[in-house]
Structure 1
Amino acid sequence: MLPDIVAPGLSVLFCGINPGLLSAQLGQHFARPGNRFWPALHLSGFTPRQLKPSEQHELLGYGLGITNMVARPTARASELTGQEFVQGAEILTKLAGKYRPQTVAVVGVTAYRAGFARPKATIGPQPETLGPSKLWVLPNPSGLNAHYLLPALADEFRKLRLSVLD
C-alpha cells in the first residue's frame, strides 16, 4: 500500500489514479522516471524546485497532499475495473470530508469520469464539490498520455494553482 500524504487544511490534495508497480515497490507516488507529475508540479509554480518522488513528504510543507483513487498497483490504469473506480471515489469523498482540503485535484479525467459517473467531464474545475472541497480534474501525467506534452500539462497545473490563490 502506498501511503497517503495528507493533513488537515491542505490547499490541494492531488489524487492519482492508482500506483504503478514501481511506485508500489518504492512506496513513492509517481515514482516512474517518465512520469511528469513532479516536473509539472514545479513548472506550474506549486513548488520552488522539482521534488523527487523520495521527497514526497515535503509536499505537506507547501500545503499539498497526495493520494490515489484506487490503492491496487498495476502496470497500466486500464487494468482497473469500473467498480474499483467507484469504490475509490467513495473513499476519496470520505478522505476529503475528514481532512477538508480547499481543493481535491483528480489527476486523470478517465478515472474521474468512471469513479464519479461523470462521462462528459473535462479537464479543469468541476461544478460539484467533494464534501467541503472544490473539485478539479487534471490530465494524467503518465508518459503514456501523449495528449499532453509537459508544457501543456504544467499549464493545466498552473491554472489550478492560480485558482487556489483566488
Structure 2
Amino acid sequence: MPDLVADDLALLLCGINPGLSSAAVGHHFATPGNRLWPALYRAGFTPRQLSGQEDRELLALGIGITSLVSRPTARASELTPAELRTGGRELRARVRRLRPAWLAVLGISAYRAAFDAPDAAIGLQQGVIGSTRVWVLPNPSGLNAHYPPRALAAEFTRLREAMGLPVRLAD
C-alpha cells in the first residue's frame, strides 16, 4: 500500500502494517473498528471525524501516514521480529528523506521491536531521527483493549499539545 506522504510534514503517523481490508480498498486505517479517526478528531488534529476513505485529506493538515511493515496481515502479531527490525531501518531512512517535524509510531510493542528499545514507554522518546522528534502512541486498532477510546484520545491530545498545534475546529 503506498505511503501518504509529502516533504516537511508536521506529523508522520506510522502504523504497524496495513490490515487486510485497508490493503484491499487502498486506504490507510480503513478497517472497520479502527479508532485512529475518532482519536485524531477528539484530540483536535482534524476539524471533523474523517474515515479511512478520506485519508488523503490529512495531507492538507500537514499529516502523513506510513507503515512500519508493508505486508498486509489480519493481525500485527503475524509479523516476525525480523520484519519489524527491517521495518525500523527502512522507516528511519524514510524519515530522514521526508523530514517531518514529528514521527508518531502507533504501537508500543512494535516500536520496541523495530527500534531495539525494550524499555520504551508511550510518549516522547529520547532519540531523534535526523531532526525529527519521535513519539509513541498506543495502537488504535480495535483489538487494543488496553486503551479505550477516551484514553486513546487523551494520548493523541498529549502529542498535539507537545507539538504546539492548536485544536482544529470545524468552520
TM bracket (short chain): over 0.9
What secondary structure, in the 3-state scheme, does the structure 1 residue paired with 2:49 have?
A: coil
CA contact (8 A) 1:103 1:134 kept: yes
CA contact (8 A) 1:96 1:132 kept: no
Structure 1 vs Structure 2 CA RMSD:
0.8
Partner of 1:66 in structure 2? 65
- SS of the residue corresponding to residue 38 of structure 1 reads helix
Counterparts of 2:118 and 2:80 in 1: how far apart (Å)? 15
Cα distance, 1:130 vs structure 2: 1.7
- The one-letter code matched in structure 1 to 2:138 is P
- CA deviation digits over 1:13-43, x for unaligned, max 9? 0000000100110111111111100110110
**Unmatched tracts of structure 1, length 5 or more:** none
> What is the DSSP-based 3-state SS (H/G/I as helix, E as strand, rest coil) of the residue aligned with 2:7?
coil
Q: 1:39 — aligned with what?
A: 38
Moved over 4 A (4+): none
- Shift of residue 9, structure 1, vs aligned partner: 1.0
Match of 1:15 in 2: 14
Structure 2 residue 127 is the aligned partner of structure 1 residue 128: yes
Number of corresponding residues = 165
Asked if structure 2 preserves the Cα contact closer than 8 Å seen for 1:12 and 1:103, the reply is yes
Aligned to 2:92: 93
CA distance in 2, matches of 1:16, 1:73: 11
State the alpha-carbon separation in 2 of the partners of residues 109 and 10 from structure 1: 22
TM-score, length-normalised on structure 2? 0.95
Structure 2 gap ranges (5+): 166-171
Deviation at 1:131? 2.1
Partner of 2:47: 48
Aligned to 2:162: 163
Quote how far apart the aligned CAs of 1:157 are: 0.4
